[in-house]
Amino acid sequence: MTKSRLKKIALALLIAIPLIIYFLFSYRPISGTVVDAETGKPVEGAIVLVEWTRTTGIGLTTTKSYKVAEVVTDKDGKFTLPGVLNPFVNAPYLTIYKKGYVAWNNNSIFPGNGIRVDFKWSSGYVFKLEQFKNTDSYEDHYYFISSAAHTESATKEKHLFIKAYDESEREKAIRERDLKESRSSQK
């Protein structure tokens, strides 16, 4: 093999390897469907929120929002989320909310804050929303949604999501908390 040929191969590898790594460790756009867990019927108007973060620093690190996207499911419960072509972002946080349902999150399960292990970032996933039950706590659910969706950061990009759950859950959570406090002070 000639020196010229070796140089061409080395150059091709220098270009190809970073590109392969870049695309392998990035997140492609995905499509999914949101359905009622009990009936299997599509859930129209659910808000799907995805956020990628990026951690920087050595030793003392900081994590900041990198990209946020909100979409609303159509009449068939379908949606498409954009991806991120950046191998240096953290895994996305994905949260789905619809009034009357328990919020779905790719990391945690409500109630009980169990760890979700059945989700993989790929197209075709069917997201099953459980109907909110009378035994569920609005206060706990409100805080679950707030922490799952990282609502303290990048709030401008999360306006649909925050507005939907805040309007639906906040007052009920406050009333529930006040009732608990009232009962405990009477004892």
Average pLDDT over residues 127-146: 93
Average pLDDT over residues 146-167: 83
Selection from 154, 181, 123 nearest residue 49 by Cα: 154
**pLDDT > 60? residue 44:** yes
pTM for the complete prediction?
0.83
- Which residues on neighbouring strands pair with residue 69, listed in sequence order? 50
Structure tokens at 149: 């969706």
Q: Percent of the chain having pLDDT more than 90?
A: 41
pLDDT tens for residues 73-125? 999 999 999 988 888 888 899 999 999 999 999 999 999 888 999 888 888 99
Residue 104 has what pLDDT?
Answer: 96
Angle at 35 between CA 77 and CA 156, to 5 degrees: 60
Residue 186 has what pLDDT?
Answer: 74
Question: What value does the mean pLDDT of the chain take?
Answer: 86
Q: Which long-range contacts (CB under 8 A, 24 or more apart) does 19-27 make?
A: 21/87, 22/85, 22/87, 23/85, 24/87, 25/87, 26/83, 26/84, 26/85, 26/86, 26/87, 27/52, 27/83, 27/84, 27/89, 27/92, 27/121
pLDDT tens for residues 2-29? 777 777 766 666 666 655 555 555 678 8
CA distance 81 to 119: 15
Residue 110 has what pLDDT?
Answer: 93
Which of 40-44, 69-73, 175-179 has the least mean pLDDT?
175-179
- Which residues on neighbouring strands pair with residue 55, listed in sequence order? 63
**pLDDT > 70? residue 1:** no
Residue 63 has what pLDDT?
Answer: 87
Q: For 51, phi and psi rounded to 5 degrees?
A: -140, 130
**pLDDT > 90? residue 130:** yes
Residue 181 has what pLDDT?
Answer: 83
Q: Which CATH number fits domain 27-180: 3.40.190.10, 3.40.50.720, 1.10.520.10, 2.60.40.1120?
A: 2.60.40.1120
Which of 39-43, 136-140, 158-162 has the least mean pLDDT?
158-162
Structure tokens at 83: 């991806």
Residue 16 has what pLDDT?
Answer: 61
